Chains A and B, each alone.
Chain A
Amino acid sequence: MRTTRAAAVAAVTMSLALAATACGGGSSTDGGGSNDSPKTLTYWASNQGASIEVDKKVLQPELDKFEKETGIEVKLEVVPWSDLLNRILTATTSGQGPDVLNIGNTWSASLQATGALLPWDKAQFDKIGGKDRFVDSALGSTGAEGKDPAAVPLYSMAYALYYNKKAFADAGIAEPPATWDELVADGKKLTGGGKWALGVEGSNPSENIHHAVVFAKQHGADFFTADGKADFTSDKAVAGVKQFVDLMAKDKVVAPGNAEYAQNQSVSDFAKGKTAMLLWQSASANLKSQGMSEDDYGIAPVPVQSGAPGTGTGVNSMVMGINMAVFKNTDNIDGATKFVKFMTSDAEQKILNQAYSSIPPVKGAQADAAFNTPANAVLKDTLAKSAVAAPQVADESQFETAVGTAIKGLFADAAAGRKVTEDSVKAALEKAQQQMPAK
């Protein structure tokens, strides 16, 4: 009898405990921030270095410095790119997220629309030294126009053409190509004997998008109308996307195998000398970790259709970069603001951007001599003069997936030897457009 009663008591207790945990456990999901736990912060960093371990080594000493200055302990988690957006979405839904986090700057408008991120109005910006400490191009990718930014620029990056000096010398090419025609002509000289001229990441939707936006822009097309409607199938957009895919399909300067690349294999190929050229953002640190010496490659602006890079059809990169955001429901809003101030201070900007071979979006740090090397000069120049911001619309991340996947399919066609025609490109883009949310 006693054991029966004990069992019954245990069963009821366990049920109650279960019910209690099911209901409890949530923190403030009501939206407003607070200062309930002023001594700790959780920080999700994006993976900027060659590996997550490298990132921890770069960031931890700086976080220790911050703790010494303010007494606030920052718990760091470096989240791989493949998980970051999903993790942010989950955190947004559950209200259980970090206090401070890094976001890809192209996601700014999409994440802004969720309302989960703290808006950076003038008062908030003043706490970290004012909006005018940051360069304009970087501020252009922090949220939809006319709204308070959803994030603060942290690292800026731009695409550049990395070329293998020895391969160029062997093929008798003196200068890196400045136009696509030149690139294709040079590419034919560089291709052969198991080597190829250029590497792409054909199965990586985001990479595809970064190039497609620029190619379309060079043909005078945008993927979104001025009022934010999807417009993927204009003749000019089709021409831009086709020119990109034609590098493999028609010009044959890209190895067909690149159609299935999605894990930065094209960077490895370049580092190993299998390809002579690579279009990449801030690749220096990555190439170094793969054993390629800085003397072995040169950095030039990404080619344009004709003339020199500039605005309008002279655009040759998207404004790439990382923004730092604060979750609105943080329970340490003052600490989070202090942390953003610390990370965007001139001194920290110099240290961090040097470690990641990116460009500081903070004017004071950008002027530093460390960012005047020839390699950085190209990136800085591109960002200042010829980079275009990602479409700052709420549907940006859907656009990346839909059009990026369409281009992945086109590369697959090209790799299989199927014809890539204006019609097939248009059909693929049409399908992508139909997948966009109807408004």
Chain B
Amino acid sequence: MKLSTNFVKDYIDIDVDVKQLAEDMTRVGNEYDSAGKLINATKLIIGKIIECVDHPDSDHLHLCKVDIGKEVLNIVCGAPNARKGLKVIVAQNGAELPEKTIKKGMIRGQESNGMLCSIAELGLEHKFLKPEDKDGIAELGEDAVIGEDPIKYLGLNDDVIDFELTANRGDLLSVLGMAYEIGAIYDKTVKTVDLSHKEYGKDLNESFKTEVKTDNCKLLLVKKVENVEIKESPSFIKNRLIASGIRPINNVVDISNYVMLELGQPLHFYDADRLGKKLVVRMAEKGEKLTTLDNIERTLDDSDIVIADSTHGVGLAGVMGGLETEVENDTKNIIIESAIFDSVKIRLTSKKILRSEASNRFEKGLDPNRTYMAIERACTLLEKYANGKVVTGIVKYDKTDNKEKEINLEFKNVNDVLGTTISQKEILDVFRKLGFSYSVKGDIVTVKVPTRRLDISIKEDLIEEVSRIYGVDNIQGKLPVVPMKKGTFDKTQREIRNKMIALGLNETLTYVLINDKEVHKFTLDEFEELKLLDPITEDRNTLRYTIIPSLLKIYEYNNARGQKDISIFEIGKGFYKKGEIYGEDTKLCCLMTGKYSIGLNHTNNVDFYTIKGVVEEILNYLGYEGRYSFIKQEMPKEIHPGQSAYINVNGTDVGIIGKLHPNVSKEDIYVFEINLDELFKKKVGKMKYKEISKFPSVKKDVAFLINKKVVSKDIEKVIKNSGGSILSDIEVFDVYTGKNIDENKKSIAYSLNFIDNKKTLTDEEVNNLLEKIIKNVCDKFGAELRK
């Protein structure tokens, strides 16, 4: 809401700097975006052209001698309307205009000491201007006094504050509402609104009817003004509209907007001669057509409120009038509609069609008393500025309850909520400043809330008023005195994050919204994807199920910027619908490619075993050691079938690991993802001490030549079963294929550790076991011992 301070000063006497006013309003909760002069220009002066001749070296420039009182300036001017005798706006040397600074100069060989300005050059938005304001220099009236301030002469010496109001303060979408608020700050009384006018002829109720067919209209008022004279508005109306961000059109249309700005009640003016004898408010029929003011045919819905005459729709209530009954230059008689429509319905319609100054006010809710006031005010102004004759009477439909609300408030309650010791007197003073009447009985004050304050309905609202006007800054902060307790906090996610970081991975934060084409990739799970009803872009139209596509995008972004060594992870949500259940799981996802460690002799490229190591490290750290396995099954087609597995904990797949399929990326990229919610369903045992044997352990290395297809896990199983309880550890320390080895075979070497907690092992004992192991492995897999 742009507030013209000239406008508000009609209702309240203040003499405060505009910045100060804006700051003071901010302190009571009305934030502003900007505050300053309407016209930001310096060194302007009224002058008169006393001589105007053509420039000798130009076909359009003029050489003007301009009298500015204290001196006569030579100014070169290109405006076609520059002529002798004209009173003009002169920007003197050094003048700062919104788009230029005026300097003394030579224009095609002729000295120029300043500039003659158009209205547009003063910095008003072009949409508010008439063509002549842009095409030529401003032509001031004969009454303009040479040497004086042209901005003042034009009535543009206004200050404007652009407020960003909160959604609950619909009352501040009016100059009068602002006056009450400012009055509360500076303890000033608000002046009354002039509603006086004469009325003529027979009561309007005899010739005009209204009919309201829907609950969505609670109040409908109609008056008629005849014989209006359509012309340009007086400059104070135009200037205030411009300062408030509304384009002046003609006096009649401007008055409807002026009253809306002044009192917050949008009005609609119909050309009475193009409207029937009846105004009907009803819900639109589905598919009903209506051509609005902007000459667009709208197709309506049964949630739109329509204003109709006895035959068809003539306006979209609260949002936009119809083209057919629009006030035009030849309009003589006017029907004024002042009404209250359901705010939710208006919101729906305006969202669909157009957000306007009017719809904004309907949406925030209106004060019925203002609805009455506004229609009378419009009559007053039409009489005064359009020579209209107001027809006697008002056609009225009123289902509102416009009594002032009474709220009881205990003084103690104020101080309890605010944590203060504000006195009764100070509390009552706040209500007085706000213009609320009240009565006190014992410890309780009964406040009558004016109908304009739709935002106040419970005692907490009144407490807020006290805190606003008393001043939050005057309330001292204190520390709550609370019973001691330990905050509960599941740190598991954080610990996983720290572990991943300790393993050298960079944590990312990616968007959960992805393209629907990506959602079913990297998974064979069955689920229904969750698409947004109204996405911003197609690239972000669906909630992700796995995080892998997100990390792959991050890989691509970095790879394109020359970053080849990427080890990243994220803990985030994956979303789904399974059956009727909408759900989300927390997932740990990781992507690794390029070099993992870099050193003089230690450079190491990421491979399957690197990322598998990360998974094992995380699972071991979380206490799942010995309870997980990597299982080969059918893989999603985006994963390399020969370098991938499901991560299985105690019989349940909790994740996936693998290299990306060459069809997805030609680079060697490895990923894993673990569903942490699934994982944590598997409980882990307590960490506790295991006895360390007092007896020495014996280490034996053994290598087998074995068919390539035999997997290590199976060999380990045979070794373990053969080794029995004293075989404490099996570790693969070398796998070799190639030179000196049959091409169908591999050499695989294990380091076996034997230990007994009860005695020292003898060589014989260990050797016997080793022989048994070797024999079993060789028999089972057709392997041979590699010497």
Partners in one complex: no
Chain B interface residues (CB < 8 Å from chain A): none
